[in-house]
A and B are shown apart, each in its own frame.
Chain A
Amino acid sequence: MKKIIFSCLISLVWFHSFAQSEVKNDGELGSSKDYYNACWEMDKLSLTDNKDHVFAGDYSFLVSEGSRNSPSYLKSPWIELGEGNIKLDIKTLEKLGNGTIYAYFIRFDSENKKTGEGSDPELIDYYQLSKDELKKDEITDVRFKMPNEMVGEVAKIYLIFEPNGKDEGMAVDNVVIPGKYVSDPSSNCFPKVEIKDTDGDGVADEEDDYPEDKYKAFNNYLTPKGFGTLMFEDLWPAKGDYDFNDLVVGYKINRVTNAGGDVVEVVIDILPRAAGAGYSNGFGIEFTGISPTRIENVEGTKISSNSIHELMRNGLEEGNEHATIIVFDKVANVLTHPGGGAVGINTDPKFSLQSGEMMRIVMHIRPEIITTGPEIVMFRSREDPVRLKDLTMENFNPFLIVNQKRSVEVHLPGKLPTAHADKSLFGTKDDNSNGDESSYYKGKENGLPWGLNVTESIPYMVNKVDITQGYNMFYKWAASGGEAYPDWYLEKGGYRENKVLLNAK
């Protein structure tokens, strides 16, 4: 019984507060521009913090002398008008003769594409300030009763201040209009329109990438120009031939977020393009900083039945500190060798290019579902939600697994190995990895890497031709520490030698 009474009280309070909703303007933003941005309009009405004029808070509006052709006015945003009185406080200043305040309402007119304002404002009432009754600095409480026929209508309230004195006539403050603010500053201050939201996630269908899925709302691509390109050498820790084609994959990563901005799944499109190696290499991606326990499941990988990798139930590789996907354990699973004595796949122009198998891997972020009622389902992760800032290029750590040896990984320069890497290999042969994070997977003598990441789809080198011979500005870019030709990979005049480039897609 107590519960029922409490519920009734809550309902009454809610109804009461809704019925009493008001739109206020007390000038305290202190800036006409801020009020304009919030869909108020005014002319010959300035905000003042002059203590002689302010009579409530830190700011009041000061009426300048206006005329009927060019009135001093305050025009409200669109309001769904409520019952009650339009209220404002007036403080009379020196030399006010008589003065009048007019209150009009302006109906919405959908035919008026500029402002939506109807052409014939209707008078609500007016209030006369008579010099016989007024005393300097006296505050007058002005009220206009909202006409019953306007309650529930969407309209603007238009207040005109007509002082008949000279100089400073009156200050205005605490404007209160009964009703609900329904202007939309993101749509030129037109009234808000009812949105179609099929899945009920709060995102309008026309703005929702997944209008029928309440758990997904927006696509957020890590590489906005489409596929990026990853290129690896596989002789690490020994120096390679720098053709960077022992494994070439295109990648596109979409971090799908829900209406609240949490990443709910990561869609990884992988296009294997070339494998210029004699080795049977694999390919994986670590999402640094994302705990494996955060992942519900991974689907779409290509793992052999006799794989060297041990997988967790959720599809991630076992034994890693960070969420690690083995995309494919053997490149032959995703790229077909052309035969005929070719060394590698898609790296020798004498052989026809093989089409790689486009892979789509989906990594679902784990939610914890709490059902709070038959209709309402709330999601709460056991840990903090994964946000876009947790899945940037900083956290993207792709790597090659050399010739079915799990302990030999090749990462991009400056990226750290996974827990499976054989630490004893670091610093051996030509590798400079010395424990300092920035030193990993860089050449001891020349600082050159074993892997490159370009965030666009670019051609790669034919076999045994080093990258400086296909990309003329690569040398200058690298030698200058990235200062010169940061666009070395683009197709610009003189940038590429196409005869030594291949472009399997």
Chain B
Amino acid sequence: MKKIKRIGFNLMVLIIPGMVLFGSCVEQPLEDDTRIVGSTEDTIDDLKVSEFFEWKTTQEITVNIEGLPVDVSVNRKLALLTASGDEIFAGSHNMHEDFEMTFDLPLDIKKITMKYGATEKSGDILNKTVDFTFESEREVEVPVVTYPEITLE
């Protein structure tokens, strides 16, 4: 009887740490789901809201554009748009000047597009900010020249 008890004890000694160890290997979500799983019978009578809640359906997004470091005398329409093409800003802008403006945008907008002449760029909203520059790629050609005949003087 004592032997059986000892075997049982030994098994427990093996199993319990094993359970703890394997239990820790259970996959955990990387982030908590912020969505609250409420009762399907949530009613307005039960609803209590923080006094600090602002009831906004918009977010403040700041768009920054770094101007060129030299004055190239270009002043034309700068347009900012949502991914679906809705314009959120239009105005004249000097290409050598920086731009910064904050917009109240619907919360589902995740991307902003900048249009300036032939330049069109899209940027993701990160930390309520989108940053652009006027840098752009263009075709570059190395001209083929005819060299003159030179005789050293």
A interface residue numbers (CB < 8 A to B): 29, 31, 33-34, 37-39, 41, 43, 68, 70-71, 73, 75, 98, 100, 102, 104, 106, 114-115, 117, 119, 121, 123, 126, 128, 130, 158, 160, 181, 183-189, 192, 202-204, 207-209, 217-222, 224-225, 242, 257, 259-261, 388-389, 392-394, 412-414, 432, 438-439, 442-443, 445-449, 452-456, 466-468, 475-476, 478-487, 489-490
Contacts and interface: CB of A to CB of B under 8 A. Distances in A.
A71 B146 CA distance: 13
A452 to B, nearest CB: 7
In terms of DSSP, what is the predominant structure of the interface of chain B?
loop
A466 B70 contact: no
B141 A484 contact: no
B73 A181 contact: yes
A104 B143 CA distance: 10
Contacts of B92: 202-203, 217-218, 259-261
Given A37-B135, A104-B145, 13 more contacts: A38-B72, A126-B148, A128-B152, A184-B72, A218-B91, A221-B88, A225-B84, A261-B92, A389-B101, A446-B49, A456-B57, A466-B44, A478-B55
Contacts of A37: 68-69, 134-136
A475 B108 CA distance: 18
B34 A467 contact: no
Q: 3 tightest CB-CB pairs across the interface, nearest first?
A: A186-B117, A447-B49, A207-B77
B138 interface: yes
Given A102-B147, A203-B77, A455-B106, A41 B86 contact: no
Interface in B105-153: 105-108, 116-119, 134-136, 138-148, 150, 152-153
Contacts of A259: 92
A389 B101 CA distance: 8
6 contacts: A41-B140, A121-B143, A123-B146, A219-B87, A447-B51, A452-B55
A31 B133 CA distance: 15
Contacts of A448: 44, 47, 49
B77 A218 contact: yes
Contacts of A486: 57, 107-108
Contacts of A478: 47, 49, 53, 55
Contacts of A33: 135
Given A38-B68, A439-B51, A204 B34 contact: no
A355 to B, nearest CB: 26
A412 to B, nearest CB: 7
Contacts of A389: 101-102
Contacts of B140: 41, 115
Contacts of B152: 98, 128, 130
A38 B53 contact: no
A218 B79 CA distance: 10
B146 to A, nearest CB: 7
Contact of B74 (A29, A117, A186): A186
A189 B138 contact: yes
A34 B101 contact: no
A128 B70 contact: no
A186 B76 contact: yes
B75 A219 contact: no
A445 B58 CA distance: 25
B52 interface: yes
Given A225-B106, A479-B48, A102 B55 contact: no
A231 B153 CA distance: 89
Interface string B68-104: 1110111111000010101111111001000001111
Nearest to A446: B48
B27 interface: no
Contacts of B117: 184, 186-187
A68 B147 contact: yes
Contact of A115 (B68, B77, B86, B141): B141
Contacts of B68: 34, 37-38, 185
Nearest to B117: A186
Contacts of A115: 138-141
Nearest to A34: B69
B90 A123 contact: no
B43 interface: yes
B104 A34 contact: no
Interface in B29-60: 34-36, 38, 42-44, 47-58
B80 to A, nearest CB: 9
